[in-house]
Structure 1
Amino acid sequence: MLSELVQVASLIIWDEALMTHRFAFEALDRSFRDILASSSPMAKNLPFGGKNMRLLMPSLSQEERQELSQFSKWMLDVGEGKIDATSQEGEDEPTWIEIPQDLLLMPEGIHRSKNVLIPRISLTLKNTKWPFVLQRRQYPIKIYQVTMLFTPVAELHPQSTNVVIRVRVIRKWEFRGATNDGPLQHINLVLADEQGTPIHAEIAAALAVDKGSIIEIEKVYELKRFRVTPSRNYFKPVDNNFMIQFTLYTQAKVVKDPPQVFPRYIYKLTCFENIEDSIDNRTYLIGMSLEC
């Protein structure tokens, strides 16, 4: 069928097209749209069903002119019957011509034939730094807006507002003063995100019943509406310059079936040779003191 041939054709050439009436082009345009729309609904709105009609750039390099000359010669050989044709299974006459590889523009790059994410860009045709060109909507590009749902812990700072983080609770303990038998002062948490970045979180005693009771060790939570402050210089459970403080409006939602990338432990080993450097160092401490 002619319609099937149009759908599978890689190259369609109209001999002496410049001498053809424009009505013929309009009829061809409508025919191609109807034929190609059966396999691609978008083709109904594209000129010639998505087939490209190009004009050559006047400023071609010597190499490009040579390639154009070789392609033109090959096309003339096709028209004069100098190129051998082949037939497929079930066909009586040879009607297929294989295009040489050196005349084809083959897909390149490690992402060929894959769906890739293009960062947010401004769609202005004057931007010459793009790796692609938008040309008269002949090849429409599907652009999807992707919003980062969760902010990495490493990007948190005191000016962070309206952010959401997804973290695992590594540790949870109560602080009741130096003797550990006084009234509850606050609840401490060690959290870590998917990248393994830790951060210290604190729940005030006044919020212990409302907020502290819903936080469990090893579970993954989505946290939002919290406060980010500089870490205290006298107590820093993890190596992070900032910490999180729960507020009355902080929300914690348990993540069901979280990915396995969240770490279960956070630690920082110190060589024996460097232990003496930690004497009287109160800027970074985790664990407990032991008498040996």
Structure 2
Amino acid sequence: MMRFAVLLALLPAMALAAVQAKDDNGTLVELPQPAQRVITLAPHATELVAALKPEAIVAVDTASDYPESVKKLPKVATFQSLNIEAILAARPDLVVVWESQAVSQSISQLQRQHIPVFVSRPQTPQDVASSLRRLGALLGQDARADELASAQEARYRQLLAQYQHARPVRVYLQVSENPPLSLSRRSFLGQMLADCGATSPYANARAEAPQVSTEAVLAFAPELMLTTGERKTLDMWKAWPQIPAIKANRLVSLRSDQYVRPGPRMIEGMQKVCEQIDAVRH
């Protein structure tokens, strides 16, 4: 009975025990207790934290619009800049960001103010699963995180097994019309294409978003053309009707968030992309 009473007395302290996890930069993020006031400064980061502990989110960036509950929260950042004053006023005990050159100095400024920052840059559904587990540790939601992560990993393994031996399909992905830009496997969407059994003209480019050469695309002769914009942004390629994708009218828009946000819904987007690619094989 005495041992049980001692355990009950310790429960509040255990619930507020220090937590830690490494972010995607390999930096150890340590908190004296699970985060209660979280600011997410990228749409995928908002979705990751919302899947684990939505009530903890106190502010977001202007692009975060899912789930519905985050739309009414204060907006304290854009993709290009962070409102440091507003972030500090919200008194966060954790900030989750997608680090880019545009905001790197602002992130350093937050860290100098002793605000814990978790950099999140998942590239595959496996990375999303890992992010869920590490954020789950910082949020005190280990069991929920493991449940969601395990489901992600299972679906990812299933898709990899389904398409790893399928015939490679030549796919061109466009993310900008003027100037025309594509994506390499350094990006999560470029890696997604490879996981679905696609080859692309810029898969092994050093840049994440290489500029497109018309000659390279024509020589590659894509069987499927994808865009993250509206379908009509691919109309420029109709000037070359010999392109197999143009000839077969295989032009597809990937405008939905599930394709362009490496969060919990990314696996759904991957399945749909794989199905679009697989349709070319049949």
TM-score, structure 2 as length reference: 0.23
Structure with larger RCO (C-alpha < 8 A, sep 6+): 2
**Of the two, which has the highest radius of gyration?**
1
Structure (1/2) with the larger helix percentage: 2
